[in-house]
Structure 1
Amino acid sequence: MRILKTVLYVIVAIILLLFIISLFLPSKLVFENSVNISAKNSTVYPLVLNYQNWEKWDPWVKADKDMKNTYTGVPGIGHKRTWESKKQGNGSMEIVEAETNKRIKAKLMFQDSGKPAWDNWQFDETPEGTKVTWKIEVETGFNPIVKYMFAFTKGKMNKVFKDGLDNLKTLAESLPETPEVSVIEQPLMPQKYIGIKKTIGFNPSEIHAFMAESYQAIMTFIQKNNIQCTGPLASFYFSYDENMKTMEAMPAVPVPLETNVRLPDGMQYHDIAPGNSVMVIHIGAYEGLASAWNALEKYIKDKNLEVNGAPFEVYLTDPNVDKDTAHWQTQVVFPIK
């Protein structure tokens, strides 16, 4: 009996000691690593922003070929990946902040975890290319078991980070460089559109849903009224509010100039008058369009030009026909005086 009591005292002492030690362990753990990649940030950034690209470099995916991934939303804020894995466990990650070619922040939720972790990416331009920093922040709270679990896995996590960044580096450096943006001045031809104008948020998921619904409604209307669609779909942007994070946009379908059918509520005609314009043809996924817009705005400012109407995008490639984003061509146009 005395031996049993001694054993119990030792066990209690060990548990108490481990508990006391856990009080000195941090309630927030940070896993972080960086790599220098010989590629532009405009090449690297989409490989992280689009969760479907993670299948090409993510070490957790590579470690479990049976992992089931589900993706929702378009790449950007609101884009989400949910996974089910017998080896890695279940969980999800959703982008909550994104600054084109600069940084990404996502909320990580693991199965049976009450608190989120935060997945952070930083893309810093360097003379040789891009310095990419990957950091995950985990709030352990005061739970000693969770503290010990993450403390003991820190070495493994650091290796996973290194492997992931090395895979990302190899992939990014194997891709062709994003071409320099070339601005072209050209005449603007007259064109009539039917569109649906609305003020919406900057959230890519909201934008995608609004545009898809609008195009569907307009195409249904013109087909019903035997009106021909005369070219690729477009979208006009009339204003944006940086503080409110909203913009006034109008997805539109080109129709013959002579079209004068009465439109249903919510639809309107938009005419482009003949004149001049500056334009850029962007090749690649839509999340890279910011570089085209930035180049045009800089060109207009440097040349002291005056904008004459709403700028617009023309989607030369139908993404429903060609699924490869590397082939997508989008024309960004600013009418000028």
Structure 2
Amino acid sequence: MLVIILSLLALLVIAVLAYAATRPDTLRIERSLVIHAPAETILAHVNDFHRWRDWSPYEKLEPDMRREIGGAPSGVGATYAWQGQGKAGAGRMEITDARPDRTTIQLDFSKPFVSHNIAEFAANAQAGGTRVTWSMQGPAAYMTKLMGVFFNMDRMIGRDFETGLAALKVQSEK
């Protein structure tokens, strides 16, 4: 009986691992919110890593994590590296493009696992304000695919984006 149970368990593990391998090779998360402020005001909060503590949901994960802000003071070339002891993990961001309507950030994680993504904040004027879209895209490593079998990555990360956009709205509409 024990051999049958262990065989079924091994078969289940193999099936989950095989299913994870069939998941999409890319990951894209995106959320939008209308903010009643001009794009230049909104993106000023994004382009200056010193201001991220005011609105980024990731800053609250580990308030005492080690941070290093360098490169340009803001905009292209600005860098932000972090090293947390738990939830925040570790990684580095660098602003690679800063236009009046968009900011692009190279986002590299080294912990809890290595991943390389592009984050983008697009600001499009519309009646009553500016629609800000925060997106992240990149290759889905096997570990990301495996996590996606058990966790809805879009919902999990998307909630963080929604929280961050709401805080960015508060900061930009002051």
Identity %: 26
Letter in 2 for 1:137: Q
Distance 1:61 1:153 in 2: 22
Distance 2:144 2:3 in 1: 30
| Residues 133-179 of structure 1 deviation map (CA, whole Å, 9 limit, x = unaligned) | 000113123x2x321224515222111111000000011001xxxxx
- Per the alignment, residue 156 of structure 2 pairs with 156
- CA 1:150–1:23 in 2, change beyond 3 Å: closer, same or farther? closer
- Per the alignment, residue 253 of structure 1 pairs with none
- Per the alignment, residue 89 of structure 2 pairs with 89
Q: What are the residue-to-residue correspondences of 1:184-333 with 2, within 5 Å?
A: none
Letter in 2 for 1:29: L
Pairwise CA RMSD: 1.6
For residue 42 of structure 1, give the secondary structure of its aligned residue in structure 2: helix
TM-score, normalising length from structure 1?
Answer: 0.48
Distance 1:7 1:150 in 2: 26
Higher RCO, 1 or 2 (CA under 8 Å, sep at least 6)?
2
Equivalent of 1:34 in 7, 25, 32: 32
For residue 132 of structure 2, give the secondary structure of its aligned residue in structure 1: strand
For residue 8 of structure 2, give the secondary structure of its aligned residue in structure 1: helix
- CA 1:90–1:98 in 2, change beyond 3 Å: closer, same or farther? same
Distance 1:148 1:49 in 2: 33
Distance 1:153 1:94 in 2: 27
Alpha-carbon distance, 1:128 to partner: 1.4
After superposing the two structures, state which structure 1 stretch, 108-117 or 31-40, moved more. 108-117
Distance 1:148 1:138 in 2: 16
Letter in 2 for 1:81: Y
- Structure 1 unmatched ranges of 5 or more: 175-337
For residue 116 of structure 1, give the secondary structure of its aligned residue in structure 2: strand
Letter in 1 for 2:71: G
Alpha-carbon distance, 1:20 to partner: 2.6
- CA 1:89–1:139 in 2, change beyond 3 Å: closer, same or farther? same
- Per the alignment, residue 122 of structure 1 pairs with 122
Distance 1:150 1:108 in 2: 20
- Per the alignment, residue 166 of structure 1 pairs with 166
Alpha-carbon distance, 1:115 to partner: 3.9
For residue 94 of structure 2, give the secondary structure of its aligned residue in structure 1: strand
- Per the alignment, residue 78 of structure 2 pairs with 79
| Residues 33-69 of structure 1 deviation map (CA, whole Å, 9 limit, x = unaligned) | 0000000111111100111111100111123221222
For residue 167 of structure 1, give the secondary structure of its aligned residue in structure 2: helix
- Per the alignment, residue 108 of structure 1 pairs with 107
Distance 1:62 1:22 in 2: 31
Letter in 2 for 1:64: E
Distance 1:85 1:98 in 2: 27
Letter in 2 for 1:126: Q
Rg larger in 1 or in 2? Answer: 1
For residue 52 of structure 2, give the secondary structure of its aligned residue in structure 1: helix
For residue 11 of structure 1, give the secondary structure of its aligned residue in structure 2: helix
- Per the alignment, residue 212 of structure 1 pairs with none
Alpha-carbon distance, 1:125 to partner: 1.1
Distance 2:107 2:173 in 1: 28
Distance 2:24 2:160 in 1: 21
Contact 2:17 2:146 in 1 (8 A): no
